[in-house]
A and B are shown apart, each in its own frame.
Chain A
Amino acid sequence: MAGWFARGRTSLVGRLIGTFLGQSRTIAGILVWIGLGVVLTILVLALLAPFIAPFDPNTKVASPELPPGGAFVMGTDRGGQDVLSRIIWGSRVPLAIIAVSTTISLALGLPLGLVSGFAGGRMDRGILLVMDSIYAFPGLLLAIAIAAVIGRGILNISFAIAVVYIPTYFRVIRTHVTSVKQEPYVEAAVALGMPRRRVIGRYILPNVAQSIPVIFSVNAADAVLTEAGLAVLGLGLPPGIPDWGFDISLNWQRFDVSWWATFFPGLFILILTTALTFVGEGLNDILNPLLRKREYKAGAQA
């Protein structure tokens, strides 16, 4: 099936998927499968929350701090709310934040990286300076600073996180572009009279796109952690929205009494982050050999 995918498809995405499927049985491939599986499961949880969650997450449904057991598989928290329901409903937040923040980061970082890398010269140096300054800030601190200024809400948090990550996309893309720029096929395209926009869009971008999935996964993992961090610090979302980070901030002082209320949200943050990291690392291993496509096919050298 991997073969079919690789041979039959002519689009670049198709070939990438084909290669990925071909690597299914390697360690890297397995990592990616596991990671994707977990992320998809959580996604399903998030989407089907109204149907799966046993209770309303914001209503007090029992005495506070009941241990796991019986009707409350994960126990209840300080507010008497069912931890399991809060976990299920809470999965929506990190996923939404990932979606929004990475989109913003990519939408700004990618074009900037492309243009800056291609143009070079003073403009490149200028943008690089700005990006490096942002990059130099510890991510969490910067997110805190921005969140403190623009306030709470999913969109605002996403924006704060996005800003932290724009320089990463920018740098990786820009570096890749500067090296691809020197490749003979780019020069050939210029020699054939291609306008600059076309050269960037059709000759450079497709060859640089391989770096993106990896940054994306790392970005996503980081976004989850940052959001949780912000929530624990009280800068996250308004209280009405179930959120794993918020739950930790709510319950951690009572850890010795009701460990489950802190433990389960923390565990799920860990699971999601690790799954995303698996995807990133695995893709990195798989796609990097693709970057060296031009060298000999393994073993067939003289």
Chain B
Amino acid sequence: MSALLELEHLSVTFETPQGPVHAVQDVSLTIEGGSIVGLVGESGCGKSTLGRAILRLLPENATVAGSVRFAGRDVLALSPKEIRDLRGRNLAMIFQDPMTRLNPLMRIRDHFIETIRAHNPAVRQGQALERAKKVLADVRVPSDRLGMYPHELSGGMRQRVMIALCLLFKPALLIADEPTTALDVILEAQILQLLQSIMHEYSMSVLLITHNLGLVAEFSDRVAVMYAGRIAEEGATPPLFREPRHPYTQGLLRSVIDLETTSLYSVPGEPPSLLGETAGCPFYPRCDKRMAVCETVYPEPRLVGEDHRKVACHLY
């Protein structure tokens, strides 16, 4: 059975006046149908770029190498018309800040009508509104909001509207890029509960991109940890959290401050610049378990342990 989404040796490089920036380097990842995969990492690690690369939403100065296969089709080879067709229909994306993602001059119902018509020009307005109402009910937004403008809605409602817009065509995969980062913790929990129930109803997979380890632990089946544009560790969520293998993952989990924290820990040093070429493991300067080989040779991801965890580290 082929997986829903397969990324193979995906690389994204940005051309900047200062030189090439390797935002994503040689990433291979698989998402099966009906699962939630968390992509976790700190700022600058490349996770948002990766999400955008899948939908080909990158700016002009980006070069993409490798392959992205969605339901067997090579996304990178599609024509502009085909990729537009794919977006919003089979593959959808929700973003961090719902306020700036909705057109402030358009009523909510117009957002729905336009989205529906973009993929199905023949649909009549009445039909489109019926579909909108159904999908709004699924996200628990009263239908009278259709007549309103985005600024008249609360933040949580706007995020739900965004989710509803994505659900219109029952996409097989929803990419959620930091969907709750701008929201308060109670609202965040509500939205995630909502996503969980929708997932079952719509038989949807989710790629959850976030820096919040707690979210990933509670929500995802598998998790991939990114660092400096590469995947440091990837595997099923419970064993990964129970026994992290990559030193970065270990450091990251140690530095999380939760209600049980009794002492503070932070990973020494700073994340590396993605500018230019580097040899060896990107975590080398900050790693407390480093060896000589780590400085010069990049550790290709290898399978470790019974849970078939992928770890990019020379220790294994």
Contact = CB atoms under 8 A, between A and B. Distances in A.
Direct touching of A and B (C-beta under 8 Å): yes
Nearest to A22: B17
A299 B15 CA distance: 7
Given A22-B17, A23-B17, A301 B61 contact: no
B229 to A, nearest CB: 9
- Counting contact residues on chain B (CB < 8 A from A), the size range is 20 to 34
Given A22-B17, A23-B17, A297-B16, A302 B48 contact: yes
A299 B41 contact: no
A301 B209 CA distance: 14
Nearest to A23: B17
Given A22-B17, A23-B17, A300 B61 contact: no
Interface in B132-166: none
B41 to A, nearest CB: 7
A300 B273 contact: yes
B46 interface: yes
A298 interface: yes
B43 A298 contact: no
Most-contacted residue by chain A among B17, B62, B273, B275 (CB, 10 A): B17
Contacts of B275: 300
A222 to B, nearest CB: 32
Contacts of B220: none
Contacts of A22: 17
Contacts of B194: none
Main secondary structure of the interface of B (DSSP, over half): loop
B152 to A, nearest CB: 23
A15 to B, nearest CB: 14
B37 interface: no
B230 interface: no
Interface string A281-302: 0000000000000000111111
Contacts of B15: 299
A301 B62 CA distance: 12
Interface residues of A, number: 8
B16 A302 contact: no
Interface in A249-302: 297-302
Contacts of A301: 23, 44, 48-49
Nearest to B275: A300
A302 B16 CA distance: 15
A188 B44 CA distance: 27
Contacts of B62: 299
A22 B16 CA distance: 11
B45 interface: yes
Contacts of A298: 14, 16-17, 21, 61
A301 B18 CA distance: 14
B47 interface: yes
Contacts of A297: 16, 18
Interface of B: 14-18, 21, 23, 41-49, 59, 61-62, 273-275
Given A299-B15, A299-B62, A300-B14, 18 more contacts: A297-B18, A298-B17, A299-B16, A299-B23, A299-B59, A299-B61, A300-B16, A300-B21, A300-B44, A300-B275, A301-B23, A301-B44, A301-B48, A302-B23, A302-B43, A302-B46, A302-B47, A302-B48
10 contacts: A22-B17, A297-B18, A298-B61, A299-B15, A299-B21, A300-B44, A301-B23, A301-B49, A302-B43, A302-B47
